[in-house]
Structure 1
Amino acid sequence: MVLTLSKRAGRSLLVLFLVTVATVSLLSLAPGSAAQVILGENATPEAVAELNAELGLDQPLWQQYADWLRSALTGDLGTSPVTGQDVTQAILDRLPVTLELAFLGLLIALTISIILAVIAAATSGRPVDRGISAVTSVFLAIPAFIAGPLLIYYFALKLGWFPVSGWSRISEGLGANLQSAFLPALAIAFVEIATFQRLLRTDLVSTLREEFVSAARAKGMSSKYVMFRHALRPSSFSLITVAGISLGRLIGGTVVVEILFGLPGLGQLVSSSITVRDVITVQGIVVFVALVYVVVNMLVDFSYGFLDPRVRKAVRA
């Protein structure tokens, strides 16, 4: 068990290292620098060079990265050369928005997908099942950057049920908060709904053919009781696994939605930081999101043994 934990931790650290290296390498290809953004287009080359030296941006790329990495290993993600704000504090200030969107999107996806999967499995092969399959196929073809404008047009502009943009904090009232968070959360949930529904529907159909389910039916138990008492729980193993992995992806995938809806989350922060060539802030956000994703994946891996004894026995073997 200790060896397995060590191997997974080592792989996770390698992933974080490669992610940060790739981020720095890609940002270095962009024209301009933070000094040019700060001083403006009319700044002289001498002034830009002087500010670059002051900010440490005149050093080789590998040296800048090495300095940042040493600080990051101690928990210090640096200070933005553009805004002067501590990167860790900037992340913590905006993290609640992104986390709420990710968790709410996951909750919406799980709720709708479970309902659709149960209905589809109960009517397997019939028109209702095929209709649900067609609907989820449409969901798969609607990424967030398409779903967002559509939701804004129909539910915000046309019906006026939700605000077009902006964010209301929980301290301003739970109702107002959920009203501002629902549409963006729904926008990132569409693809997850389709994925979860198809996965759970397949597992449910397979479970409903098992002998213990046939025995329950032979005892005169109702179809609803058999579905929710005997079939749903053993069919949820794959769903729980994928949902855990999807949570990490949702946290890192709110960039487009936050920009579309004007939300003050990590997505909007990283977008604005890229625009002004704020490499330090971008590196900090990327490593934070990657860390969350890696930790969530590790927790999902370790949950296998608790959810399924067969996995625990295989690991010991």
Structure 2
Amino acid sequence: MIQRLRRPLLTVLILLFATSSLKAFQEQEAEKDIPIDVVGKVQDHNYLNVAGYHLELPRILLVDGEWHFYSSTHQAVESGNFVEENHSLIPADGSEITLDLSITSHLMYFWFGVGLTLWLTIAMARRYKKGIGRETEPKGWFQNLFEITFVFVRDDITKTNIPEDKYEKFVPYIFAVFVSITFMNLFGLLPWGVTTTADITVTGVMAAFTFFITQWNGSKDHWEHVFWFPGVPGLMRIILTPIEIIGLFTKPLALAVRLFANMLSGKIMIICILGLIFIFAEFFGSIVGLGSSILVVPLTVALYVLKAFVGVLQAYIFALLSAVFIGMAAEEHHHEEGIEVHA
């Protein structure tokens, strides 16, 4: 069955990216300023591009204590209160924006990932309550895939890294982290999609959740090893305590930066390789640019498959390290009062 589907699936992928490349090439012909805007492709925007449709997102701005609500950037400019410069809104009277709570493309795809995870878990929970998968075997490939994923997260990620008497209450969080990050990473594979996790703000917020959950569930022994260090001379405590406090923050920082850097670099790599079409067209003409797509598009398809694997892998690493950090904080160590030396 898989062998039969492989060739049609590969053909669809090549046609999909070839169509996307042609459309992008036509847009690039209309703008001769630069061959390809890499930064513009990965940065956050106040609009969504979905299957060729340009959807403006609401703008919510606080200026000098007054809130301004607009359905789009265009409406904000038409109101006369703002002007647009370099794709940013600036108050027309010269004042500064105090707070910008506008909806952005990265935020929308973050909501898509979290919302899809929530819908999936609720839908599966209802099936299990009805007895499907609990009193009988799971039905359908979707429920089987869900059960495999859940058991993997529970047994191979959470249970192996968090004490056995405490791991169960952390399974929902670790599972939600793994699935939602996987969705957000894979959304970026769509020709019009956005890689939300290529934004340090998004990964920083998710790492902050792990940080607060870790510290909130830290055992007494965990905090003793941060501030007191049982059995360590007093002078050494002066040196070790600041290091341990800094370590509390470097762990979630590493989580955020690792996920952000890997997904951003992957997105930039695909854009740059696909952008060879535009570069060749800029320097050698349209015919050479379109001809280069014969090689560039299949290469991009192969990189997309690799990026899909990396997206799932990075979600696994984030969930695994979250479980490790929580387990280290929640674990109780048993200190012996004395040490017997046997000859």
Q: Same fold by TM (over 0.5)?
A: no
TM range (shorter): under 0.3
* Bigger helix share: 1
| TM-score normalised over the length of structure 2 | 0.26
Larger Rg: 2
* Bigger strand share: 2
| TM-score normalised over the length of structure 1 | 0.28
Work out which structure has the larger RCO, using CA pairs closer than 8 Å and 6 or more positions apart in sequence: 1
